[in-house]
Structures are given as C-alpha cells and as structure tokens.
Amino acid sequence: MGARLAQAGGVYDGAMAVVAVAIFPCLATMLPGYLIFLQQARARLRAERMLLEMTEDLPSVVFQYRFDPAGGSRYEFLSAGIERVLGVERTKAVLNPDFHSEVVVEEHRAGLLAARSQGARDVLPSPSTIQVRRPPASTNGFSTTLTSTPRW
C-alpha cells in the first residue's frame, strides 16, 4: 500500500510540474496584453472625461437621443446646457424624453417631429430650426441638426 501511494504521489508531482511549466508561458503572454488593455481603458476614460468637460462648457445643448425598435425613445447623453438654454432640469428631461413638447412653440412641433422622423428614416442629417419657450415666457430661435446613426 505504501509503495502504491508513493507511486501515485510521484505521478501527481509530475502532473503538477507539467501544469506549472505550462502556466508560466500562458501568463507571460497574457500579462502584456492585460497591461495594454489597462492602458487603453485609462486613455478612453480620459478622452471621455475631456469630451464631457467640453460639452458641459458649451453655451448650447449637446445630446444623444435614441429611438428603440419598440417605439420608445431615450437620451443617452444630455449636457447641462439644457438648463441654461431651455430652463429644463436635466434629470427631468432624461426621465421624460418627450419634454420638448412642453418647450417647443406649438407651430414648430410638427416641423421638429418631421425632421426627427426623416433623420431616423433616411439616416442623414436633417437640419431644423425651431422656436422654443424660455423662461420667463420669452421665445427664442433654436437651430438643431438631427442626425440618425444606425446602431447594429
């Protein structure tokens, strides 16, 4: 019995040596790739942070608006300029993606909706000039270019 245990232990030790030898090259090839991944992830975060800072400082509204295939819509990005330009809180606008019906002058809503539909259908820039209500009950011109990009 003792000889059999010694033989099994020797086979186990040999297998562990093979595994240890095989793991080292795998780790040696994976580690540089992981380090490059970390470097690129940090660079992407820096670029996103810089872009966010630029959009927050613009005297206009920067947004990314998405249509869902099911017919819904949402803002994936909405800058703080929405508060300065339209007087609408950003959190309320994100929660209610159709808030524009409250701020766009009645005569211009149909044009905005038509431009939005055309941009989604044609996947081309769809320029539109609309008038919006700004506090306190003033109206100002607001120009927008709607571009639809398919998301595959």
DSSP track, 10-73: HHHHHHHHHHHHHHHHHHHHHHHHHHHHHHHHHHHHHHHHHHHHHHHHSSS--EEEEE-TTS-E
Residue 151 confidence (pLDDT) above 60:
no
| Residue-wise pLDDT tens digits, 97-135 | 877 767 778 887 887 777 777 767 777 776 677 777 665
* pLDDT score of 152: 47
Domain range list for the chain: 1-51, 58-146
Residues of 131-147 as b/e, b for ≥16 C-beta within 10 angstroms? bbbbeeeeeeebebebe
| CATH for 58-146 (3.30.450, 1.10.760, 3.30.420, 3.30.70) | 3.30.450
Please tell me the least confidently modeled range out of 23-27, 114-118, 139-143.
Answer: 139-143
Q: Which residues pair with 67 in a beta bridge?
A: 73
Give me the mean pLDDT over the 24-52 stretch: 90
| Residue-wise pLDDT tens digits, 58-107 | 877 777 777 776 777 788 888 888 887 777 888 888 888 877 767 778 88
* pLDDT score of 24: 80
